[in-house]
A = this chain, B = another copy of it.
Amino acid sequence: MRYVARVEVSLKPGLLDPQGKAIEGSLPALGWSNVSDVRVGKYVRLVVDATDLEAATTQVGDMSRRLLSNPVIEDAVIREVVEDAVGNGRA
């Protein structure tokens, strides 16, 4: 069975995020001065071929820690693991 997983990787709170600061700095020029705390991270979407949802979720958790994120400075959050609907798996 194919499962689609979405993982969000972001810098741990407190670490300097220059990309987020850059976005925050350019928002007032576009007329938005009510935005704060902008943080930018990575978003990874992948398809896992696993026997069941639990196996897929466990594997995605392992991959998040070992490859997709640097656990020293980043947090990885699995946002979703769902069975692949027809066509959804196409990249």
Give me the interface of A with B, judged by CB distance under 8 Å. 6, 8-10, 13, 17, 20, 23-24, 26-27, 30, 32, 34-50, 59, 63, 66-68, 79, 89-91
Closest to A62 in B: B32
Contact present for B20 and A47 (CB under 8 Å): no
A-B contact pairs, 8 of them (CB 8 A): A26-B67, A27-B67, A34-B48, A34-B49, A36-B46, A38-B47, A40-B45, A79-B79
Across the interface, which residues of B come within 8 angstroms of A89, CB to CB? 36-37
Across the interface, which residues of B come within 8 angstroms of A42, CB to CB? 40-43
Complex Cα–Cα for A76 and B33 (A):
21
Contact present for A38 and B45 (CB under 8 Å): yes
Considering residues A8, A44, A50, which has the most beta carbons from chain B within 10 angstroms of its beta carbon?
A44
